[in-house]
């Protein structure tokens, strides 16, 4: 932030320049991901799954199309219907179907599929789901406002006495996640609104649990009184990018009554009584699309090696070095690196410039000296064949969170 301000391109321009994605009139508000963009998308999905696996989440997948009854029960039908895609079944006029705009209601069907004990708590269910929201055409804007979004949703079903620990674990995970990208998030605690569901005493316990978790980790936060959802308080995670813009990304939303009450989620306590769990709605990315758009503009498309769509390119001076360059490239690919061999008929300088424009982090150059010594040149450094492959493969691996 202390460096002089640099020109940052719009993420849509970067998407075209780097051949990541495009938008077309046949699908307003839905990106078409190109191979390089899909490589980036898949890395983020792998990262999300790795984090969830390590943190004890179980992945589920729920239908993208369900009967509208689900959203009538959750309350979304009354308050959110204009933002939903829904239709009458052409073969059954008595059946109305909806394309889901959020994953929350459907996770309750997984929870309710079997009898749950207090010993099962906390039950952490994660879903990387494609969602569709009928945003107004005038509000659509690249990856920042889309009709098709991908959420790294998770729903933690827990006993009230477990909430503080679960929130603390989410905060720790969130900080480690954002640190990968060089961010230190700021937190906002949104508390009970004027109109709310549930008991005031439960709200007090819920807000205390969120505050205690934040305080225990010495995380500063701003309180926004009355800005919580009608069904529970929440923590928002805000990031500030290289252009000093504030982005609200992940959330940890506590649900005291909406999902549990509306869908009859219950567990059996130590005394054999039925109890209603509390639910934490958790997302780290917010949405993959918005996160990618923000990261592209934040970095001007220069991503770390592990995240770059093309991690390494191998260049050679003349056709005399092509065979060795192919050997280097194939060894990179075999070691798990997303590598390409630049075979264009151009000078070495033009090849290097093209690779720099495409933001490829590792540019390997092969000449006669490299063939003789079985080495690889990277900028001003020369490495042995084996060291280059091993070092690049190590840098290309997704970090462990």
* Model pLDDT, residue 7: 66
Half-sphere exposure of 398 (CA within 13 A, CB side): 16
- Segment 96-152, tens digit of pLDDT: 999 999 999 999 999 999 999 999 999 999 999 899 999 988 888 899 999 999 999
**Edge-to-edge strands of the sheet including 116-117?**
116-117, 267-268, 274-275
Given a cut of 90, whether residue 217 has pLDDT beyond it is: yes
* Model pLDDT, residue 197: 82
Q: How far is CA 216 from CA 21, 139, 212, 283, in A?
A: 42, 40, 6, 21
In a domain, 235, yes or no: yes
* Model pLDDT, residue 5: 45
* Model pLDDT, residue 198: 84
Task: Indicate whether 128 and 265 sit together in one domain.
Answer: yes
Task: Indicate whether 378 and 295 sit together in one domain.
Answer: no
Residue 1 pLDDT level (bands cut at 50, 70, 90): very low
Task: Indicate whether 372 and 290 sit together in one domain.
Answer: no
In a domain, 202, yes or no: yes
CATH code of the domain covering residue 352: 3.40.50.800
Contact 278, 256 (CB under 8 A): yes
Given a cut of 50, whether residue 4 has pLDDT beyond it is: no
- Higher pLDDT: 18 or 7? It is 18
Given a cut of 60, whether residue 2 has pLDDT beyond it is: no
Query: Which of the listed residues 267, 299, 331 is the one where a domain comes to its end?
Result: 299
How does strand 234-240 pair with strand 221-224?
Answer: unpaired
Task: Indicate whether 80 and 48 sit together in one domain.
Answer: no
In a domain, 304, yes or no: no
Mean pLDDT, all residues of the chain: 94
Residue 388 pLDDT level (bands cut at 50, 70, 90): very high
Cα R_g (the chain), whole angstroms: 25
In a domain, 4, yes or no: no
Task: Indicate whether 116 and 222 sit together in one domain.
Answer: yes
* Model pLDDT, residue 139: 83
In a domain, 306, yes or no: no
Task: Indicate whether 92 and 151 sit together in one domain.
Answer: no
Task: Indicate whether 127 and 265 sit together in one domain.
Answer: yes
Task: Indicate whether 220 and 332 sit together in one domain.
Answer: no
End-to-end CA distance of the chain: 25
In a domain, 5, yes or no: no
Residue 278, strand partner residues: 158
pTM over 0.85: yes
In a domain, 104, yes or no: no
Task: Indicate whether 213 and 334 sit together in one domain.
Answer: no
Query: Which of the listed residues 299, 324, 340 is the one where a domain comes to its end?
Result: 299
* Model pLDDT, residue 277: 95
Domain limits at 76?
65-99
**Edge-to-edge strands of the sheet including 85-89?**
65-67, 92-99, 85-89
Task: Indicate whether 56 and 81 sit together in one domain.
Answer: no
Query: Which of the listed residues 262, 278, 299 is the one where a domain comes to its end?
Result: 299
CA distance 167 to 190: 14
Task: Indicate whether 238 and 369 sit together in one domain.
Answer: no
Longest CA–CA separation in the chain, Å: 79
- Domain total of the chain: 3
* Model pLDDT, residue 53: 97
Task: Indicate whether 86 and 204 sit together in one domain.
Answer: no
- Segment 309-352, tens digit of pLDDT: 999 999 999 999 999 999 999 999 999 999 999 999 999 999 99
* Model pLDDT, residue 292: 97
Percentage of the residues of the chain whose pLDDT score is greater than 90: 88
CA distance 92 to 392: 57
Q: Look at the alpha carbons of 31, 37, 39, 40 in this order and tell me if their dihedral is positive or negative.
A: negative
CATH code of the domain covering residue 35: 3.30.930.10
* Model pLDDT, residue 74: 87
* Model pLDDT, residue 196: 87
Which residues in 233-271 are b (16+ Cβ under 10 Å) and which e?
bbbbbebebeeeeebebbbbbbbbbbbbebbebbbeeee
Contact 60, 153 (CB under 8 A): no
For residue 122, the SS3 value is coil
In a domain, 169, yes or no: yes
Residue 165 pLDDT level (bands cut at 50, 70, 90): very high
């Amino acid at each position: 932030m202390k460096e002089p301000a640099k020109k940052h391109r719009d993420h849509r321009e970067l998407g075209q320049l780097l051949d990541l994605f495009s938008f077309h009139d046949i699908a307003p508000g839905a990106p078409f991901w190109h191979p390089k963009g899909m490589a980036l998308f898949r890395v983020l999905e792998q990262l999300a799954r790795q984090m969830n696996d390590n943190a004890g989440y179980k992945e589920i997948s729920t239908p993208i199309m369900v009967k509208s009854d689900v959203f009538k029960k959750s309350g979304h039908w009354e308050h959110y219907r204009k933002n939903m895609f829904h239709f009458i079944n052409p073969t059954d006029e008595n059946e109305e179907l909806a394309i889901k705009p959020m994953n929350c209601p459907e996770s309750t069907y997984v929870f309710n599929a079997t009898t749950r004990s207090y010993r099962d708590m906390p039950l952490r269910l994660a879903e990387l789901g494609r969602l569709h929201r009928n945003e107004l055409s005038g509000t659509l804007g690249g990856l920042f406002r889309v009709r098709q979004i991908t959420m790294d949703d998770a729903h933690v079903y827990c006993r009230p006495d477990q909430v503080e620990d679960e929130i603390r674990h989410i905060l720790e995970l969130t900080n480690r996640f954002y640190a990968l990208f060089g961010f230190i998030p700021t937190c906002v605690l949104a508390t009970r609104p004027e109109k709310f569901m549930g008991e005031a005493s439960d709200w007090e316990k819920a807000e205390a649990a969120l505050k205690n978790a934040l305080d225990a980790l010495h995380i500063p936060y701003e309180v926004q009184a009355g800005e919580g959802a009608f069904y529970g308080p929440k923590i928002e995670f805000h990031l500030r990018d290289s252009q000093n813009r504030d982005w609200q990304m992940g959330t940890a939303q506590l649900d005291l009554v909406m999902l549990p009450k509306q869908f009859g989620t219950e567990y059996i306590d130590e005394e054999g009584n039925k109890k209603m769990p509390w639910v934490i709605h958790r997302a780290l990315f917010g949405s993959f699309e918005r996160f990618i758009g923000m990261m592209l503009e934040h970095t001007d498309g220069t991503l770390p090696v592990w995240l770059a769509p093309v991690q390494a390119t191998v260049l050679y001076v003349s056709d005399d070095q092509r065979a060795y360059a192919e050997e280097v490239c194939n060894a990179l690919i075999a070691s798990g690196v997303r590598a390409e061999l630049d075979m264009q008929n151009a000078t070495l300088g033009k090849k290097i410039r093209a690779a720099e424009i495409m933001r490829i982090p590792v540019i390997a150059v092969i000449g006669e000296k490299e063939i003789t010594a079985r080495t690889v040149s990277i900028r001003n450094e020369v490495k042995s064949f084996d060291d280059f492959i091993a070092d690049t493969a190590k840098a290309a691996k997704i970090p462990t969170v």
